[in-house]
Amino acid sequence: MLDSSALAIKADRLNTRYKHHSATSVMQGALQDAGNIALVSSFGAESVVLLHMTAVIDKMTPVIFIDTQMLFTETLVYQTEVCERLGLKNVHIIQAAEQDVAQEDPTGALHLRDTDACCALRKIRPLENALAGYDGWITGRKRFQSGTRAALDFFEVEDRAPRLKVNPLAHWAPDDVRAYMEENRLPRHPLVAKGYPSIGCSPCTSAVRPGEDPRAGRWREQTKEECGIHFENGKFVRTGASA
166, 131 Cβ separation under 8 angstroms: no
Compute how many other C-beta atoms are within 10 angstroms of the C-beta atom of residue 59: 13
d(CA 140, CA 25): 15
Amino acid letter, 40: V
Greatest pairwise CA separation for the chain in angstroms: 50
Which pLDDT belongs to residue 153? 87
CATH number of 117's domain = 3.40.50.620
Task: Let me know if residue 38 belongs to a domain.
Answer: yes
Percent residues over pLDDT 90 in the chain: 63
Which pLDDT belongs to residue 192? 95
Task: Let me know if residue 148 belongs to a domain.
Answer: yes
Task: Let me know if residue 152 belongs to a domain.
Answer: yes
Task: Let me know if residue 131 belongs to a domain.
Answer: yes
Burial letters 19-45, b for 16+ CB under 10 A, else e: eeeebeebbbbbbeebeebbbbbbbbb
Task: Let me know if residue 52 belongs to a domain.
Answer: yes
Q: What is the pLDDT of residues 14-34, one digit of tens each?
A: 989 998 899 999 999 989 887
Q: What is the pLDDT of residues 165-220, one digit of tens each?
A: 999 998 898 899 999 999 999 999 999 999 999 899 999 999 998 888 887 888 77
Task: Let me know if residue 133 belongs to a domain.
Answer: yes
Mean pLDDT computed over 136-154: 74
Query: How many domains are there within the chain?
Result: 1
Q: What is the pLDDT of residues 43-60, one digit of tens each?
A: 999 999 999 999 999 999
pLDDT of 231 higher than 70: no
Domain range for residue 169? 4-196
Task: Give the pLDDT band (50/70/90) at residue 6.
Answer: confident
Which pLDDT belongs to residue 146? 53
> The pTM is what?
0.86
When mean pLDDT is compared over 142-151, 160-169, 173-182, the highest value belongs to: 173-182
Which pLDDT belongs to residue 238? 34
Catalytic residue among 83, 119, 204, 227: 227
The full 3-state SS of 99-114, as one line of letters, equals HHHHHHCCCCCHHHHC
Reply yes or no on whether 83 is catalytic: no
Task: Let me know if residue 134 belongs to a domain.
Answer: yes
Amino acid letter, 214: P
Mean pLDDT computed over 61-72: 97
pLDDT of 227 higher than 60: no
Task: Let me know if residue 232 belongs to a domain.
Answer: no
34 or 155, which is more confident: 155
Contact residues for 50 (Cβ-Cβ < 8 A; gap 6+) = 27, 39, 41, 138, 140, 168, 169
